[in-house]
Amino acid sequence: METVTLTIIKQPELYLEADCISPDVFAETTGEIADLPVYVGREQHRLGDFFEISGRAGTTPAGTKIIVKGDLSRVKYIGMKMTAGEVVIDGNADMYVGAWMQGGKITVNGDVDAFAGTGMKGGELRINGNAGNYLGSAYRGDWRGMTGGRIVVTGDAGSDLGTFMNGGEIVVGGNVDVHVATHAEGGTIIIKGDAKSRLGGQMVEGEIYVFGDIDVMMPGFAYRKDVDLEVDGAKGRFALYEGDLGERHRKRKGQMIYGKLYQLVRP
Amino acid sequence: MTKTVTDVICPFCGTLCDDLEVVVSKDGKNLLEVYNACAIGAEKFLQSQAKDRHTRPRMRQEDGSWKEISYDEAIEYTAKMLADAKKPLMYGWSSTNCEAQAVGSEIGEYVGAVMDNTATVCHGTSLIAVQDIGIPSCTLGEVKNRADRILFWGCNPAHAHPRHMSRYSIFPRGFFTGKGHTGRKMIVVDPRVTDTARIADVHLQIEQGRDYELLDALRVAFKGEQLPDVVAGIPKEKIYEVAETLKSGRFAIIFFGMGVTQSLGKNHNIDAAIAVTRDLNEYTKAAIMPMRGHYNVTGSGQVWGWQFGFPFAVDLSRGFARYNPGETTSNDLLRRGEVDAVFVLGSDPGAHFPFSSVKKIYGLPSVAVEPHETPTTEVCKVHVPVAFVGIEVGGCAYRMDNVPIETRKVVDAPEGMMTDEEFLTHVLARVKEIKGV
Amino acid sequence: MTEYLIKNGFVFDPVLGIRGDVTDIAIKGDKIVETDAVKNPRVIDATGKTVMAGGVDVHAHVAGPKVNIGRNFRPEDKLFNTRPGRGVERMQGGFSVPTTIRTGYNYARMGYTTVMEAAMPPLYARHTHEEMRDTPIIDQGAFPVFGNNWFVLEYLKNNEIDNAAAYIAWLLRATKGYAVKVVNPGGTEAWGWGLNCENVHDPVPYFDITPAQIVRGLIEANEYLGLPHSMHIHANNLGNPGNYTTTLDTFKLSEGVKPRGRFGRDQVMHHTHVQFHSYGGDSWGNMDSKADKIMDYVNSHDNITIDMGQVTLDETTTMTADGPFEHHLTELNHLKWANADVELETAAGVVPYVYSPNIKVCAIQWCIGLELALLAKDPMRVFMTTDHPNAGPFIRYPRIMKWLMSQEAREQQLDAFKHKDKVIDATHIAGIDRELDLYEIAQMTRAGSAKALGISDICGGLAPGLTADVAVFDFNPNEPYVPDDIEKAFGDAEHLFKTGVHVINGHEIVSNGNKRTLWVNARVHENPQVVRDVKEKFLRYYTVTLNNYEVHGHHYVPNPYVIEVDATQ
């Protein structure tokens, strides 16, 4: 695997849109990586105007690794739409990290702002830090949110986690803000810390696991029974709630399928 | 001698009453009396006659004082500011006509602006909800002629839309509603005992910030599923009862306001309210409608809708239109430092935005196009006073139910004053010159 | 006056009866003229290329309130589907519901120059006109909807054709409308109570009238006035298995009525998007094609025209004034649903829909649309549409041309269906080897639709005296080609002249044209009763005043083309 290392040397006056920082684009470019376009507002610049670039890309996305270094908290779209290969972000990054990602792996050693993993279809997005709002959610208006892949956040995540989730898995090591798995029709969300309220609102199908507290349970979730499970390597007894009882649900084999919310029962 | 102009449209709120009568002096220069309007609407007409009104642009000087400048100088400053900026914010557009909005969009295209309107701090969340789940709605006349279950959620029309209940929702006798308010059941959901709540048949005094839960509970109740004993401070018996009241109507309508759009959950509250409406359509007929504030915020969303495909928060900076509230919304842009110039027309962010955003406006090159002296004009570098739309110049405006109505001119603006559209047209021409197109 | 001479092209023009012969077409000012009438023309070399009149779309939803609902509530329709402005082109966006700017450009790129907006709610006429004004290049008119209008229901309940006609004339003028449109007659009013009218004899709640009476009455009122276009209908029971009988019942309501007026059309009923109305069976499981039965009727009755409503197998946005249908659809696919009921007049619904080649019903729908066109004996009476965006976006017209012109292309698509065998069993398409030629395509997209709309004296052909709407396509019908060449060439006009203005040159849009709005001003005898009824209804039931209802020209219709009708004789 070939590696390209980008080190930010100049901060943009506003924000930098760098959707070119992706193994797909790097591997497919025939020219210099430094000449790839990036944008500040309406102005187009070269990637090389903001980053010191070393190493080289592979001939395929899968054969390309990108390491991005420095304070990237004003850089958007890193790893957007990538299908293969690897991106490592050493530092905080702004919005849309791994948005519409289809494959490959992104590791962020820092925090990310909102919309990371928007509309994700596959691959792995690991955030060793905190994530902003709308992690692994659908783009506005789309009923096809995250459909595959895996997102892991070691810290906390913001509100609107996994909206319209249809598949894949999101694991949050810390706490989450309001609105989890709203309108979900599939997928799995695991929250190791505490949750506030509005978990599984308008949920059709899918699974949510909460290890910590839930401030307010949705009225549309009803307790069914306790079950013993192994969740993300941890064994425990969970209280199973089903919902959202106010929402439509499918029947399978004569059985109504609900969204499932499991909360760890603490001894 | 005076003359009376009839069928005048009130350019204040989204109710867009069109039955005002305005008495003007024979020469058409002075506005004397306003009939049929609510107190707020009448005041807006009369205020246009204020003698101390600014009639020429002014520019703030280094020492903070204002200096009168010509319209030409204001056009030059505005065009240059917009053309020089990497990503200007062009905000407002809710208290002006569609004609001006259309010229504004064209400027926005040339300078790569972010176009945003007052929905961003009002019903933008409703628009997001509509994108997620849709909206079964209707015109206000359908409410007048058919509705027998009226639910006001987080809104207080008695004060914010004073003629709403008498013209459309509660009191009028329509085709199938000959009994007027006695044939209607009025439900109000509000944590406060508002004047609207006081006249309701049922007031659900909800716990603050628990709208989403109560709406979900209604949906559970429709399906006959079990509820917890109390949801959002409301006993379950009451929730079942209200659910039954709504289902048993012939035509139910939910009106909602900023009490739900800007409290915890924002778009999700509206999403759930729309889901309630969807559900009701399985049992009877039901509709839902946002109580839009500014008289033409709706029109601005329509104009941008057909020109760009999005109703607010439209980012044109990359040469095509993008949209994502949370990123392309005014307060996020200002808070994060994503814009480098601010143009405001037909709105007062100085009064409505958080202080942190207003401070950002103060620190940037900025222009406010606005008939009044407002908190916004006081933080901007240039203030361009213009004629009042709907009073001194006509033009198209969209009511809260999206019905377009052409507002009327009733008096002349003070001599030499420009309209929004004229000012923008000059700015557009100058921007094109600067950009060489 | 600017002059052009389009030289040496293969011309297909049913108006002149030219079937691909090499012919020169001359333009002077805004008109087509005899070739010897131009003195010093700019010459467009069309050698080896196809030349046709500008396309005329008889039915599309491209402007107005429900279209804009579709835009505003589908941001995902624009995600990664935009085109930056450049040169004279403004920014464009959207796939199934493009922005007005993109709508105009995309029609122009296909060589279309006249497009009818198929459903204008009268109360929203201003909105519809504002959008048309902002749609560059193409001429447009809009059809106000009448089939659920309270005035119409009350007049026709008592068979008061003259009053209905006077009201129609008034409303066309007030809304700057073009024709009498009917959508789910009676059913949309019933939708005001969450109900529907499912066949032509299903009474309308409260109003004591049936859809059959509404349809028949509006046909008669339309002919009483002698309007350019006939009554244009989307019948009851759209989209349901077994609905072809309702369609035939609706067709029969036109029997015995003769077209009146000076506009040269032969039909008294245009039935739109007939694909959605040609289903047999009684469930989605056994639904099949009744296109044969439908076309047997159409082929043997001269006073009917139809359009296809061809399913294009795309993700799209359905939108119609058939409010109950859209509610039915959202219950089926669970996608977001917008509804917009309009006081005293109509309603509308909007729901996204994905026509998947893997779903049997979608594949059958695809077959039915094509069967209608392929079974047509007279292509002057069967028009190409997708009921944009309901069965698919209009930008697929060139793809539909490919399917109609090439059995090979149809077989490729049939092979790609997941349930190919079941689809073939439920349809007739596999047994049809007809391949339409470009002359027949020109009938279905130009000459025929212009004639049905009553504008064959304006456009739809290349005869001297007609408006200079001319398209040149990079397609040589005499050289070997593969089916995809058709789609490519007819989606990307090399030249387009619109009212004499050269708007596309070398495949590039070089002008925003001189867009016109067509509307019909029908004069009738003074009718005091209608005047009184209008006043009363506005006073009591509308929420706008009568004086604030009429659309005035300046802002909304800046460049009108008014067709005058004198019904006082």
Contact C74 A139 (CB under 8 A): no
C551, part of any domain: no
- Give one word for B179, left, alpha or beta, with left for phi > 0 and alpha for psi -120 to 50: alpha
Fold agreement between B58-121+295-435 and B124-290:
no
Contact C93 B320 (CB under 8 A): yes
Total domains, chain C: 2
Pair (C484, C398) in one structural domain: no
Nearest to C229 by CA among C121, C156, C161, C144: C144
Q: Is the pLDDT of residue A22 over 80?
A: yes
Instruction: Provide the β-strand partners of residue B294.
Output: B13
- As a residue count, chain B comes to 437
ipTM above 0.90, yes or no: yes
Residue B252, SS3?
Answer: strand
A27, part of any domain: yes
Please identify among residues 174-193 of chain A the ones whose CB lies closer than 8 Å to any CB of chain B.
178-179, 182-183
Residue B186, SS3?
Answer: strand
Pairing of strands B285-290, B185-189: unpaired
Residues in chain C closer than 8 A to A140 (CB atoms): 75-76
Residue C453, SS3?
Answer: helix
Q: Which range of residues forms the domain containing residue A4? A: 1-80
| pLDDT for the residue numbered C548 | 98
Tell me which residue has tokens 């659900």.
B204
| Interatomic CA distance for residues B399 and B11, integer angstroms | 10
Pairing of strands A37-40, A86-90: unpaired
Average the pLDDT over B387-392 and give the result: 97
| Interatomic CA distance for residues C25 and C6, integer angstroms | 5
| Interatomic CA distance for residues B204 and A90, integer angstroms | 52
Pair (C372, C479) in one structural domain: no
Pair (C166, C288) in one structural domain: yes
Pair (C70, C151) in one structural domain: yes
Contact C76 A248 (CB under 8 A): no
CATH number at residue C470: 2.30.40.10
The pair of structure tokens assigned to C494 is 């090399």
A162, part of any domain: no
The whole-angstrom distance between residue C70's C-alpha and the CA centroid of its chain comes to 18
| pLDDT for the residue numbered C554 | 80
Domain limits, chain B:
2-47, 58-121+295-435, 124-290
The whole-angstrom distance between residue C568's C-alpha and the CA centroid of its chain comes to 29
| pLDDT for the residue numbered C1 | 86
Contact A179 B219 (CB under 8 A): no
Residue in C134, C341, C556 closest to B142 by CB: C341
Pair (C74, C19) in one structural domain: no
The pair of structure tokens assigned to B256 is 């909602």
Q: What is the pLDDT of chain B when averaged over all its residues?
A: 97
Q: Would you list the DSSP string of C15-49?
A: TTTEEEEEEEEEEETTEEE-GGG-SSPEEEE-TTS
- SS3 for B92-131 is ECCCCCHHHHHHHHHHHHHHCCEEEEHHHHCCHHHHHHHH
Nearest to C236 by CA among C284, C204, C281, C280: C204
What superfamily in CATH does domain B124-290 come from? Dimethylsulfoxide Reductase, domain 2 (3.40.228.10)
C265, part of any domain: yes
Pair (C92, C179) in one structural domain: yes
Check whether domain B58-121+295-435 has CATH 3.40.50.1370, yes or no: no
Evaluate whether A191 touches A238 at the Cβ level (below 8 Å): no
Digit-coded pLDDT (tens) for A80-98: 999 999 999 999 999 999 9
Instruction: Give the CA count within 13 Å in the CB-facing half-sphere of C348.
Output: 27
Total domains, chain A: 1
Average the pLDDT over B29-35 and give the result: 95
Residue in A95, A198, A246 closest to B220 by CB: A246
- CB environment B303-318: b (16+ within 10 A), e (fewer): bbbbbbbbbbbbbbbb
Residue in A95, A198, A220 closest to B265 by CB: A198
Pair (C29, C64) in one structural domain: no
Contact A143 C335 (CB under 8 A): yes
Q: Which residues contact B83 (CB under 8 A, 6 or more apart)?
A: B110, B111, B431, B434, B435
Question: What's at C383, amino acid-wise?
Answer: F
Burial environment of residue C473 by CB neighbours within 10 A (0 to 12, 13 to 18, 19 or more): buried
Pair (C12, C121) in one structural domain: no
Residue A48, SS3?
Answer: helix
Residue ending a domain, among C453, C470, C485, is C453
Pair (C184, C333) in one structural domain: yes
Contact B18 C544 (CB under 8 A): yes
| Interatomic CA distance for residues C326 and C313, integer angstroms | 19
Q: Is the pLDDT of residue A267 over 80?
A: no
Pair (C447, C479) in one structural domain: no
Chain A residue closest to C84 (CA)? A42
Burial environment of residue C108 by CB neighbours within 10 A (0 to 12, 13 to 18, 19 or more): buried
pLDDT band at B1 (very low <50, low <70, confident <90, very high): confident
Q: Does C495 touch chain B (CB under 8 A)?
A: no
Pair (C74, C113) in one structural domain: yes
pLDDT band at B393 (very low <50, low <70, confident <90, very high): very high
Q: Is the pLDDT of residue B433 over 80?
A: yes
Q: Is the pLDDT of residue A172 over 80?
A: yes
Pair (C190, C151) in one structural domain: yes
Residues in chain B closer than 8 A to A41 (CB atoms): 85-87, 112, 317, 340
Chain A residue closest to B229 (CA)? A219
| Interatomic CA distance for residues C322 and C238, integer angstroms | 8
Tell me which residue has tokens 């009184």.
C532
| Interatomic CA distance for residues C176 and C520, integer angstroms | 7
C365, part of any domain: yes
* Angle, alpha carbons C216-C218-C221 (nearest 5°): 110
Digit-coded pLDDT (tens) for A161-171: 999 999 999 99
Digit-coded pLDDT (tens) for B269-317: 999 999 999 999 999 999 999 999 999 999 999 999 999 999 999 999 9
Q: Is the pLDDT of residue B34 over 90?
A: yes
CATH number at residue C118: 3.20.20
Contact B134 C73 (CB under 8 A): yes
> CA torsion angle for B321, B324, B327, B333 (degrees, to 10)?
50
Q: Which range of residues forms the domain containing residue C504? A: 3-52+459-509
Tell me which residue has tokens 């309270």.
C150
- Phi and psi, residue C208, nearest 5°: 60, 45
Residues of chain C with pLDDT under 70: none
Q: Which helix (H) or strand (E) segment is C502 a member of?
A: strand C501-505
| Interatomic CA distance for residues C52 and C69, integer angstroms | 35
Q: Is the pLDDT of residue B416 over 90?
A: yes
Query: How close A81 comes to chain B (CA, Å)?
Result: 17
Pairing of strands C3-13, C18-28: antiparallel
Q: Does C336 touch chain B (CB under 8 A)?
A: yes
Question: What's at B222, amino acid-wise?
Answer: F
Cβ atoms within 10 Å, residue C246 = 23
A135, part of any domain: no
Residues in chain B closer than 8 A to A219 (CB atoms): 213-214, 216-217, 220, 227-228, 231
